[in-house]
Chain A
Amino acid sequence: GNSVTQMEGPVTLSEEAFLTINCTYTATGYPSLFWYVQYPGEGLQLLLKATKADDKGSNKGFEATYRKETTSFHLEKGSVQVSDSAVYFCALYPNTGNQFYFGTGTSLTVIP
């Protein structure tokens, strides 16, 4: 079956620290992989995506690389800001299917 596992939070970092949020997946075939971000009081926004192995998605300083051999799609940012405080969701869309599968979300708080 299809599923996504991401590291549990909450994560608290100081401003300018390095961020990694781990995400691994189980899927049949070759899914597309996504990171969504949810700022307080809002819906989810697409942050970045990768549709095939070794692709790197990037946006707003965040990056994630589709690693088929380790079935992972870890989110990274070199220097976080207070404005990055949010909940981050890893998700997959299978190549034979009709719905997304989301992880449980990781809450990030960045302190000045």
Chain B
Amino acid sequence: DVKVTQSSRYLVKRTGEKVFLECVQDMDHENMFWYRQDPGLGLRLIYFSYDVKMKEKGDIPEGYSVSREKKERFSLILESASTNQTSMYLCAIGISQGNYGYTFGSGTRLTVV
């Protein structure tokens, strides 16, 4: 089974800081996704990528950017962190035929103070 590793389980950052969240897979799957999870709102898609150097905006990309320089790594960047970006961030990967389901990482709980 594929393994998805998110670099940090908990992060505390200050308002205005640039924040990097890393996601690494140990297979060669094309599709990688970043979600944020908030109570009562479920999962909301921020960005996704189908291949190296490719990226697509999801439903809530404002305030975020992404980088995919290598196939196995997909980074989420908060250019200038704000308190409303305090959330649980989940990385997911999938093969090209999405109906096999996604594999999720354990999540990073980010607090911006």
Contacts and interface: CB of A to CB of B under 8 A. Distances in A.
Interface of A: 32, 34, 36, 41-46, 49, 51, 89, 93, 95, 97-100, 102-105
A43 B107 contact: yes
A42 B101 contact: no
A98 B98 contact: yes
Interface in B93-113: 98-99, 101-107
B45 to A, nearest CB: 6
A43 B106 contact: yes
Contacts, number: 51
Decide if the interface of chain A is mainly helix, strand, loop or mixed: loop
Nearest to A49: B101
Interface of B: 4, 33, 40-43, 45, 48, 50, 56, 58, 90, 92, 98-99, 101-107
Q: Which 4 A-B pairs have the closest CB atoms?
A: A43-B104, A32-B99, A104-B42, A102-B43
Contacts of A93: 98-99, 101
Contact of A42 (B42, B56, B58, B107): B107
Contacts of B106: 41-43
